[in-house]
Amino acid sequence: MDKKPLFFYGWIVLAIAFVSMVVANITRNSFSVLYVVILDEFGWNRANTAGIFSANTLGFGITVPDAKKGISRYMNFYNQERPHQSLDYETPAEVYFGIDSQNRETSRYLKEATFVS
């Protein structure tokens, strides 16, 4: 009989990710609170300081399509190509659509027709 683990460590990963995102957002969004202090400390004028913040925001916006492509590629791999031990070494797409893992040609056709990457 398999012994159930005392604690699921996925919760620790989730907590670390949550705290990291909170800290990152607080840091990024605290610019307006620290704006006057930054002006005084570095002796910059308002135009230069606002330009730096605008460039930072634009940089975040430019990276969104690349992040979308990367996440889409990973989800495609995870759901359509990677066999999972918990699913008897079948992919989630094969299990969900009831595809026989022996019939790979039909499986490939359905995967390409069904999922958008």
Q: What is the pLDDT of residues 8-52, one digit of tens each?
A: 788 899 999 999 999 988 888 888 888 888 889 988 899 988 898
Whether the model pTM is above 0.95: no
Contacts of 11 (CB under 8 A, 6+ apart): none
Task: Provide mean pLDDT across the span 54-60.
Answer: 89
Q: What is the pLDDT of residue 113?
A: 57
Token couple for 82: 């990677």
Contacts of 87 (CB under 8 A, 6+ apart): 94, 95
Per-residue pLDDT band at 66 (split at 50, 70, 90): very high
Report domain extents, the chain: 31-114
Q: What is the pLDDT of residue 33?
A: 87
| Side-chain-facing half-sphere of 71: CA atoms under 13 Å | 6
Q: Is the pLDDT of residue 3 over 80?
A: no
More confident position, 36 or 113: 36
Looking up tokens 């989630």 gives 92
CB 80 within 8 A of CB 87: no
**Which of these, 65, 75, 59, 66, lies nearest to 114 by C-alpha position?**
75
Task: Provide mean pLDDT across the span 80-97.
Answer: 85
